[in-house]
Amino acid sequence: MVTAVRSEPQASAFLARADLGSLLDALHADGRTVIGPTVEDGAIVYAEIGSVADLPIGWRDEQAPGRYRLAHADDERAFGYAVGPTSWKRYTFPPRVPIGRARRDGDRTTFEPIEPEPPALAFLGVRGCELAALRIQDRVLAEGPVTDPDYAARRRASIVIAVECTVAGATCFCTSMGTGPEIMSDGADLVLTELGDGFLVRAPSPAGRELAARLPLVDAGEDRLGEGRAAVAAVREAIGDPVAIEGLPGRLMARLDDPRWAEVAERCLACANCTLVCPTCFCTSVAQTSDLDGFESVAERTWDSCFSGDFAKVAGGNFRARRQDRYRQWLTHKFSTWVDQFGSFGCVGCGRCITWCPVGIDVRDELMAIASPPARRPLPVAVATQPGAFVPGRIASTAAETPDTTTLVLEDVDPRIAAGSPGQFVMVTVPGLPAVPISVSRFAPERRSIELSIRAAGPATGSLHELPAGSTVGLRGPLGRGWPVEAAEGRDVVVVAGGIGLSPLRPLIDALLADRPRYGAVRLFHGARTPADRPHVSDLEAWALRSDLELAVTVDRADETWTGPVGVVTHLFDDARWDGREAVAFVCGPERMMQATVDTLRDRGLRRSRIFVSLERHMECGIGLCGHCQLGKFFVCRDGPVFSLHELGDAFVLEGI
């Protein structure tokens, strides 16, 4: 959420409806032209307001994606609508502004800027979202290292009378963007809240207090304050929270190749209406006009749009030639790269781009389709989540995998644990020893069974490794975020395992094979130090016989039984002919093996957002509370252990993080 600071306590002053004209009179007396809402061309637009009669008294706007209609209600409200097609940038950042002049006189050429001459304006009826938009444009155009002098001058010459929203438009989503329906941003001089019989008034700025002092204000009284609070709260309630913005910038950039961009481009007209009605969009072009001989020319800054054909064009071609390129540019700028550039979203949730899209494309839906929040694929319910609580699991049988690795087949396991998803882990304990995180190497919910393949690495795992059948262990889980199997749908799949790293991948392979037609080619590569260090050999042998799975195995050091390839696992696909550009990869093994694998996969064209690795870290609590397993911004136990390379960034390749 963007910063939501109420700059003033609740208003306590009240302006009777009959006295609204006194506000206009005071503004006019200051020599200001009042710009405010008025009905024109079938819409409530912002234009010059001469008197109260110019305001849209009794008018309502009915909005839907691609649709806007006015309706008349039987009341006296002047601000009973949401927002119309005009945004305040028409007055702070006009569509055409002459900015410079060039003259050629013989051999002498001169250039001179055109100095702004801003009119003294009062903006009446600025909504919470719109004030936030003005503040965003302030950051872009007036508060950065470079300033647009015309914009800055116009802003300085204007004062802002904000009006809180007491009706909700059907395309509004200020609540998600943290900009309304209350006035939440700073920058208003006067703030009004419309009630049945008048307006609550507060004055957050010196200019506003000076103005308020000239109005016939009375004490509002507790009832009116309550009415105002309730009206705005009802708007918040009606809008709800349609866009999950937490983490949205990152999610969006991870979906640059989402097929939805092409799909939305079939509906999108690339007509630029969304950007032109947007209160924050600031893209322009400079048009030059000259006299017939080119002796004098004027440069004019003109509203343009990333949807225009010429916008990303160079002599050799167009960098964003297709509609899908332009839609992606717009949406990712608004909701991701704007944050990097200017520290906030480029969207305030006013809903104009939805209402005024001639084909009704709803940015709320597109965002949720392209960058849906993570792990809404509900995590299986974990049991015994607290670090001190465990549920029992009985060891039905054990199987030696390698000299130091044993698989425990647990039965009578809590069904919620047995219903975990591939890549998840459990905390396992025996009395007297610390609990250790173990990835589940097979889920068998129908038998209430899981398998744990445990390598004896320390005292705790050593004890687990030696437990005989019939023993009982304590379990907490299933924990963490496993392999995103759904990311593989419709794509080729590459699974690369190093040694015991095959164990956390085994449930993934089970899941792929159980629903085989949903995926493209499935290729599994396994490498081990020696033939004897290969776990799950019977599975490997069974998979080798399948025609719908390509399996290749290698060892670092062969023995007399080994007839297969020798070398590191990446050699298995160094020279392969398959194209990785549309594939998804799942990788698990020692960290160095994973790094080498990732490099090779990247060489094959796989994207960072489609390469998933499972990380090992020191985990104690398994639920993101103890702090041991932090990796950058992540708790590996809670946010992982499976991550995309894109999520991890440099944290994956740098040592000591």
Partner 1 sequence: MATTTLRPRVGVVKLTSCDGCQLTILDLEDELLALTERFDIVDFPEATSDRSAGPYDILLVEGSISDPDQVERIHDLRARTRLLVVIGACATAGGIQAMRNWGSVDDWASSVYPDPSLLRVLDRVTPVSDHVKVDAELRGCPISPDHLREFLTALLVGRRPQLPDEAVCLECKRRGYPCVIVAGGLSCLGPVTRSGCGALCPAFGRGCYGCFGPREQPNVVALTGRFEADGLTRAEAGRRFAGFTAWAEPFRAAIPEDGPARPIRAASRGASHAR
* Residues at the contact surface with partner 1, assessed by CB under 8 A: 40-43, 45, 66-69, 84-86, 90, 95-96, 266-273, 276-277, 287-294, 302-305, 307-310, 321-323, 355-360
Report the nearest approach of partner 1 to the CB of residue 125 (Å): 16
CB pairs under 8 A, 24+ apart, for 599-605? 599/570, 600/570, 600/573, 600/574, 601/494, 601/496, 604/573, 604/576, 604/578, 604/579, 604/580, 605/579, 605/580, 605/581
User: Peptide bond preceding 116: is omega within 30 degrees of 0, i.e. cis?
Assistant: no
Give dist(CA 187, CA 185) in Å, integer: 6
Secondary structure element (H or E) that encloses residue 596, with its range: helix 591-603
The contacts of residue 74 (CB under 8 Å, 6+ apart) are 58
**Closer residue to partner 1, CB minimum distance, 212 or 272:** 272
Q: How far apart are CB 274 and partner 1 at their closest, in Å?
A: 10
Identity of the residue, 311 or 543, whose beta carbon is nearer to partner 1 in the bound complex = 311
Nearer to partner 1, 4 or 359 (CB): 359
Q: How far is the CB of 193 from partner 1 (least distance, A)?
A: 27
Pick the closer one to partner 1 by CB: 311 or 425: 311
* Closest approach of partner 1 to the CB of residue 255, in Å: 22
Cα 227-231-232 angle, rounded to 5 deg = 120
In whole angstroms, how close is the CB of 100 to partner 1 at the nearest point?
A: 16
- At closest approach, how far in Å is the CB of 136 from partner 1? 19
The residue type found at 360 is: G
Smallest Cα–Cα separation from 165: which of 83, 90, 245? 83
Contact 57, 78 (CB under 8 A): yes
Q: CB-wise, 273 or 424, nearer to partner 1?
A: 273
SS (H, E, C) 116-183: CCCCCEEEEEECHHHHHHHHHHHHHHCCCCCCCHHHHHHHHCEEEEEECCCCCCCCCCHHHHCCCCCC
Q: Which amino acid is at 333?
A: H
Q: Does residue 433 sit in helix, strand or coil?
A: coil
Judged by beta carbon, residue 289 or residue 372, the one nearer partner 1 is 289
User: 333 vs 258, 302, 319, 328, 651, CA distance in Å?
Assistant: 16, 20, 16, 8, 25
How near is the Cβ of 170 to partner 1 at its closest, in Å? 13
Beta bridge partners of 194: 199
3-state secondary structure of 532: helix
State which residue, 68 or 81, has the beta carbon closest to partner 1.
68
- In what helix (H) or strand (E) does residue 23 lie, and over which residues does it extend? helix 20-29
Compare residues 275 and 439 and give the one whose CB is closer to partner 1: 275
Contact assessment for residue 186 and residue 135, using Cβ atoms and an 8 Å cutoff: yes
Distance CA 292, CA 108 (A): 18
Query: Quick check: 636 and 425 in contact, CB under 8 A?
Result: no
Residue 40 Cβ vs partner 1, minimum distance, rounded to whole Å: 8
Nearest distance in Å: CB 268, partner 1? 7
Give the nearer residue to partner 1 in terms of CB position, either 100 or 249: 100
Task: Provide the token pair at 339.
Answer: 């944050």
Shortest Cβ 139–partner 1 spacing (Å):
23
Contact 14, 201 (CB under 8 A): yes
Report the alpha-carbon distance of residue 468 to residue 460 in Å, rounded: 15
Q: Which is nearer to partner 1, 112 or 291 (CB)?
A: 291
Nearest residue to 322 (alpha-carbon basis) of 371, 367, 263: 263
Give the shortest CB-48-to-partner 1 separation in angstroms: 12
**In terms of DSSP bridges, do strands 436-444 and 630-631 run parallel, antiparallel, or are they unpaired?**
unpaired
Tokens of 101: 């002049």
- Expressed in percent and rounded to 5, the helix, strand and coil fractions of the chain are 30, 25, 40
- Do 228 and 183 touch, CB atoms closer than 8 A? no
**Which three-class secondary structure state does DSSP give residue 249?**
helix
Which is closer to partner 1, CB of 69 or CB of 103? 69
Pairing mode of beta strands 43-48, 33-40: antiparallel
Smallest distance, partner 1 to C-beta of residue 296, A: 11
The minimum distance between CB 286 and partner 1, in angstroms, equals 10
Shortest distance in whole angstroms from residue 298 CB to partner 1: 12
Q: List CB contacts of 432: < 8 A, sequence separation 6 or more.
A: none
Nearer to partner 1, 219 or 293 (CB): 293
Supply the minimum distance, in Å, between the C-beta of residue 312 and partner 1.
12
Q: Which residue, 288 or 372, is less far from partner 1 as judged by CB?
A: 288
- In the complex with partner 1, the residue whose CB is nearer, 69 or 546, is 69
Residue among 323 and 536 whose Cβ is closer to partner 1: 323
Q: How far is the CB of 483 from partner 1 (least distance, A)?
A: 38
Task: State which residue, 308 or 595, has the beta carbon closest to partner 1.
Answer: 308
**β-pairing verdict for 522-528 and 550-555:** parallel
